[in-house]
A and B are shown apart, each in its own frame.
Chain A
Amino acid sequence: MNRWRPFHRIRESFVAKISLTLISVVLVLAFLFDLMLIRLQQKAYEDENIKHGLSLVRLLAQSVRIAVFSENKQDFIMPVNSILGHDDVVEADIFNNEGAMLFSRKKQENSLAQILDNPEHLASIFKNIKEAGEMHWQTPNSFIFWWPVYFNTSPSSDESLYFEMDDEPPARELIGYAALVISKQSFSEGVRNILINTGFIVVCFLSVGIFMSFVVVRRMTRPLSNILQKVKENTGSAGVRDDLSLLSETYGGMIQELEQSFETIKELKDGLEVKVSERTRELSDRQTQLEKANLKLSETLAKLQEAQQQLVQSEKMAAMGQMVAGVAHEINNSVNFISGALPSVKRLLGDLKELLASYEELEQMPNGDDRGRDIAAIQALKNEIEFAEIFTTFEQLLANIDEGTTRTTRIIKDLKIFTRQGAEKFKQADIHSIIDSSIPFIDSKLLKGVEIRKEYGDIEPVTCLAGRISQVFLNIMQNAVQAMNGKGTLNIRTWQENGQVHISFIDTGCGIEKDLINRVFDPFFTTKEVGKGSGLGLGISYDIIKQHSGRINVTSKVGQGSVFEVILPLSPPIFPMTRES
C-alpha cells in the first residue's frame, strides 16, 4: 500500500483533513494552555516572592523593636545588617511612630527617595499600615515592603511583676515602621526561566501529541479508507472528487436504502398479520381433521391387535409344523441307517444260508471221490461270497443300526422337552444342554456350510422355563443361520457376571441395517420373502425373555454380522411357580 500519498492528494484525502484539523486545534489549545501556564506560574512565583519579602520585613520589624523603643542608633546596626545580608535586599529604613526616620541603610541609590521626600505621602502610608497590618507594592525594578513595629506595653498591676497574668492579653503598642526594598533582578531571571522551561515542555508535548494524533487518526480511519476504496472501485474512477464529499454521498445513499428497507419491513409486517390469522384458521381446521383421523386410527389399532392375537396363534402352529418337519427329517435320517443296512444283512444271510446248505450236503454223502470234489466246490463258494470279510461287514452293519436307534431315541427325548412347554414349570436347568438340544431343530439344509463353535463358560443352572428358552435360542440361531445363507460361523458364548448369565450368539451373516435394528423385535417385522418369515420370531422371544426378567441386546454391522446377547438372571426376582394358563 502506498503509505505516503503524493502531496497533491492531501487536499482530497480525508485522513489528511482530519489530521490537519486536529493538529491545528491542538496547536491553538497548546498555545492558550502555554500562556495560561506561564501566567499562573508567574503569579505563583510573584506571590512567593512577596511572601518572602513580607516575612523578611516582619523579621526586621521584630528585631529592631528594642532599638526603635530606645531610639538608640547603635542597636539598629546589627539587625539591619543581617537583613541586608540577603542578596536581593537593597535597602532598609526604620521610622518611629511619629514618622521620623530613625535609621536607613542602602546598597543602591535611594528607591524610596520620592516617598521619603514627601511627608504627606509618607503619612498616608503609615495610616494604611496601621489599618491593614502591612503594605507592599512594586516598581519596575523593585518590590517595596512595609511592616509595623510593635512593642509590649507596661503591665497594669504590681502583681504582674511576680505572677503570670492569664486573663490580661499581652497588650502591644505601635512604636514605629520598617521598610524594605528588594531588587527585582533575580525575580526577573526566575520569570525568564519559567518562560523558557514552560515553552520547552509545551513544545516537547506538542510534537509528541501531533505525531500521536496523526498515527491514531490513520489507524482509526483505516476501515473507513477501505470502504472508500471499495466505493471508488464500484463507482468507477470518477473519484477525482475529494474523499469527504464521496463519503457523505455514499452515506446518504446508504441511509436512503436503509429507510427503504425499513419501509419494506413495515409493509411485510402488516401483511404478515393477515397471513398469521389465515394460518391459524387453517390450523384449527387441520386439528379437527386430525382428531377425526385419530379416532379412526385407534379403531384400526384395536382391530390390528385382534389380528395380531390370531397371528400369534398361527405362528405357534407354524412353529409346530416346522418342528414336526424337522423331527420327521431327523427320524428319517436315523431310520435310514437301519433301513440302509437291512438289504446287505439280508444278502449276507442268504450267502451264509447257501454255504451252510453245502456243508450239510457234504455231511450226508459217503466218503468217496465225490467228497473231494464237493470240498473243492465249497471252497469255490466261500471265495465267491468273500467268506473271510463277511463278519467284518456284518459288524459294520450292526454298528450302523445301533447308531440309527441311538439317534432316534435322542430325538424323541429332545422332542419331549420341546413339547412339554405348555404345562411347563420354572425349574433349574442347565443352559448349555438347552442350547445343545435346540441345535438339531435348526433347518439342516441351511446348516451345511455353517460351523457352530461353542465357547461355554462356567455358569450356574438358571431357574427358567426350559422349553420356552429353548424356543428363544432356536429362533435366534435360526435367524443367524438364515442370515449367513449357507456359509459362515456361528459362535455361541456363555459366561456369568453379577448373578446373571449371558448367552451370546455371534454370526457372520449379512447384518442388520442401522435404522432397522430397533425394529427387529417388532411383531411382523421381517425382511424375508413372503412365506418364508412371519416376523414374529424375535417378538415372541422378546416376550419370553421379559417373562424371565431378562434382556436381549442386539449389535450388528451390515456385511459383517450380528450379535444377539441374551441376559438372564439366575432366578427371576418375582418367581412365578407355575404359569399354566
Chain B
Amino acid sequence: MATTDMSAPLPGTDDAHATTLGLANDKMAMWTFIGSECLFFGALISTYLIYFGRTNEGPAPAGIFDIPFTSASTFILLMSSLGMVLALAAIQAGDMRRFRTWTMATALMGATFLAGQFYEFSVFAAEGFNLTTSPFSSSFFVLTGFHGLHVALGILMLLSMWAASMMGRLPQQLHTTVENIGLYWHFVDIVWIIIFTVVYLIPAAITIAPPTG
C-alpha cells in the first residue's frame, strides 16, 4: 500500500533525488518495516527455542519432521526468489509480458510452498501433533503459521500486480513498486531459511549425532 503512496516520487524522473537522502520514500519505508518484522520473527523464534524440549510426551521434533519433504518445499520457495528477481529485471527492461510470466511463476511457487505447508500440517495433525499438544507444538505452529501468513500476503500482492498489469494499469514507471514487493518477498524467504535451519535441520542433526557426555 505504501508502495504507491502519492507522496512517493516516481522513478525515472529527477524526483527520485528530491528526497533528502536520495532514496525513494517508499523503499525506505519498506526497509524500515522489514526492520520491525525482524523483531517479530525474532520473538517467535526465541519462543520456539525456549520451548524446544517441552513436548508433554507428545511428538518430539526428530520424530515428526519430514526433512526431505520440507527440503523440497524450501527449495521451491527459494526458487521463487529467483522468479522475483527475473520479474523485476523484466519490468525494468520494459518487457511487460516477461514480467507477467515471472510474477505469476513466483506467485505459483509461493502457492506451492503454502500447499506443502498445509499438507505438512494435516499430516502432523493426523499423527496427534497439533496446536494444543504441548508448548513445543504451540510455538511450532504459531511460528510457521505466521510465516505462512506472510507468504500468503506476498502472493496476494504478486497476483494483484499481475492483474493490474493485465488490465494495463501497471505502467512501467512503477517498477519501484515491484522492487519494494520484491524486497518483502526476499525477506520472507530469508526468514524461512532461518526457520528451516533452526526448526527443522538443527533438531534433525542433533538426533543423528547425539551430543556425547
The answer to whether A and B come from one shared complex is no
Please list the residues of chain A having a beta carbon within 8 angstroms of any beta carbon in chain B.
Answer: none
